[in-house]
Amino acid sequence: MKNVRLYAQVAGQIAGQILSGHYPLGTRLPSERELSESFEVSRPTIREALIALEVDGLVEIRMGSGVYVSAKTPPGGKFSAIGVGPFELLEARRAIEGEACAIAAARVDDEDIAELRALFDNMVAAGDDVPRAEAFDHQFHICIARATRNSAISGAVEALWQARLCSPQEKAMSEKAHRAGVGPRIDEHRPIFEALAARDPDRARVAMRSHLDKVLSALVEATEVQETAEFDARVTARRQRFGLL
């Protein structure tokens, strides 16, 4: 894992695990030593990450007892994932993140670029480890939103990602996509990063929208494949029932 705001990257991954339900409300997180080994970082880095999560209200650090999940969503997060479908979320992300990327391209500083490069490199290094790659993907998009220097924009993007992580429909859709071999679209993040590094707003907007269009297309295809397979199975069962096979 690249050493750029390392504690923030670790905190983001743990937050993603909490929001996804991997660590339910009230659960005690693994020890600092276990987390250090899992994320391949030092214990002081883990300590900083846990403090950041406590500040965000996601965990409670109990001296002598451990660290416990204290909230399923960050305080102030009013966006509800109930009833919001994955295609609606993607449409909203395309509209908001496309413009956010353009604004970020005009405002990023060298530290932002270094962090984005580190996140992209870690995404690539994750390879076939889908949960790890997705955690870095999440942080990459959040880093772009924060680079807008606009708390309303970054809050909107974070709310959409929160909904994505918490939505039952999104989870079901992701499972379908994974069964169809669709994972994080890592290579599509390269032109996004390059446009941001070049401080080119128009190019950044196009790169982000192109990426999300391809994600949408892949999800539609995965859904169609799954629905076709289920339909074929029903037809086969019906034919077998009446001795037509």
Q: What is the pLDDT of residues 164-191, one digit of tens each?
A: 776 656 666 666 666 555 556 788 999 9
Considering only residues 59 and 108, tell me which one the structure prediction assigns the higher pLDDT: 108
CA separation for the pair 128, 120 (Å, rounded): 15
Tell me, yes or no, if the pTM score tops 0.85.
Answer: no
Residue 62, φ and ψ in degrees, nearest 5: -105, 115
105's CB contacts (< 8 A; 6+ apart) are 195, 196, 198, 199, 200, 201, 203, 204, 205
pLDDT tens per residue, range 188-207: 999 999 999 999 999 999 99
Domains and CATH numbers, the chain: 6-69 (1.10.10.10), 86-238 (1.20.120.530)
Arithmetic mean of pLDDT over the chain: 82
Task: Give the position of tokens 């069964």.
Answer: 179
Which of the two residues, 239 and 76, has the higher pLDDT score?
239
The confidence score (pLDDT) of residue 166 equals 67
What band does 82 get if pLDDT is binned at 50, 70 and 90? very low
